[in-house]
Structure 1
């Protein structure tokens, strides 16, 4: 019986990251990464009027996951997951997500709520795994205790990204401010820390990320949890969201043995 080992995780690597260098993340102590595809909020441009007899092609709101070349997958022992992060301002996004076939092809679903209404909807109703914010600007509303704990109760995680802090002092202030807000309203429960890296120069050694926890208002145990235990719980919760409630999956390896992975 072989159990899937997720180990230390960086669950936000930008999909423009140079894939031929992804093996370098393994050397920094990580075991699992998620390639993140960002879906920006669509503009409200009016639709063109359909001509009589014309069939309109159904366009998926969500793009397909990034294709990982076989030689890249073979060059590393990293578990490589696919993640999508969707910006939205109100609950009307639900219809587009329900109509998307591509959304089902991602391992992790994250959202960036742009308004308080969107944040309320994400915490209370959306079938998602992660709530995150772009640190280049401050969160445009107050994160309240009730909504935070509601999200935690539903198994949703809150993400902090550190690579923008390396690039920009304003982002650094915003990240620290957000982290301390999470501590104040929810004692930093269900936090994950990821890089959000665009290249290998923006990823830090796993021990450096753990040490970063002190600045983010985390105690020593929480600093390890945000890159290992919480990340593992998030991955398993995401599996449950896709597969429904179940206890294990069984994959046949060969005629003599079965591989069982926890879910």
Structure 2
């Protein structure tokens, strides 16, 4: 089991310097929580974060727009939906806002780039994966997209964040392939070559091609195949010899 460290940044002013590169060296995931439309636009277009987590219990001044959220999704940033406020909150207005904002997010993003989280402050606010998928289907998200929001999308954001920090420009990753085996000594290699040479010779000390005196096996006339032309010549010569004997 691997434990990841996450840092949440609350964006209150778009002109602030959040030192995200320094935070990325200390944490595995960096999430941004915008508080207004300007900071949301900044997080989607320019901030180098991994997750955009929205407080869906509050009412936003404007509706979510696909060009803005689509830019974040194309950059590999995931949109986080937290569902525990809609279950555990005692404020009916917060529940209405969460349902309205979640439905709007699912409709605008077409169910792509969404991850589900509980953000629960107690164990009672956590639900099983099947319950979360059913809750997302009530908000208008399909079953397959809901399953991806719990399995595929969270894994992709973790791997993408790891590649950004450990690989070369997020493309080439260096994988440990083991150590190179040590070179064998030269004397041992020579001994093996000598053993191979002795094995290739017969008990008389000669190679297989030197069994006949002065004539290798592959050059022996007995084993050399006769061509068709030579066979025809031999046949013609025999016929001529037979004709001469009859004439005599």
TM (normalized to structure 1)? Answer: 0.60
Against the structure 1 CA distance between its residues 167 and 234, is the aligned structure 2 distance closer, same or farther, given a 3 Å change threshold? same
Against the structure 1 CA distance between its residues 210 and 97, is the aligned structure 2 distance closer, same or farther, given a 3 Å change threshold? same
The answer to whether 1:158 aligns with 2:83 is no
Other-structure match for 1:92: 15
Note the alpha carbon deviations across 1:120-178, whole angstroms, 9 max, x for none: 11111110111112233123432112101111111111111111112113333222212
CA-CA distance at 1:255 after TM superposition? 11
Instruction: Tell me the distance in 1 between the aligned counterparts of 2:14 and 2:149.
Output: 29
Other-structure match for 2:228: none
- Partner of 1:158, secondary structure, is strand
Larger RCO, structures 1/2 (Cα 8 Å, 6+ apart):
1
Out of 240, 245, 254, the residue aligned to residue 170 of structure 2 is 245
Q: CA RMSD in A?
A: 2.4
Structure label with greater radius of gyration: 2
Tell me if structure 2 keeps the 8 A contact 1:160–1:175: no
Q: Structure 1 residue runs of 4+, over 3 Å off?
A: 100-103, 246-256
**Greater share of strand residues, 1 or 2?**
1
Matches within 5 A, 1:1-263: 77=1, 79-93=2-16, 95-98=17-20, 101-168=22-89, 169-243=92-166, 244-250=169-175
Aligned length: 177
Instruction: Tell me the distance in 2 between the aligned counterparts of 1:173 and 1:254.
Output: 59
Gaps of 5+ in 1: 1-76, 257-263
**Greater share of helix residues, 1 or 2?**
2
Against the structure 1 CA distance between its residues 187 and 239, is the aligned structure 2 distance closer, same or farther, given a 3 Å change threshold? same
TM (normalized to structure 2)? Answer: 0.64
Against the structure 1 CA distance between its residues 170 and 247, is the aligned structure 2 distance closer, same or farther, given a 3 Å change threshold? farther
Tell me if structure 2 keeps the 8 A contact 1:85–1:109: yes
Other-structure match for 1:52: none
CA-CA distance at 1:221 after TM superposition? 0.4
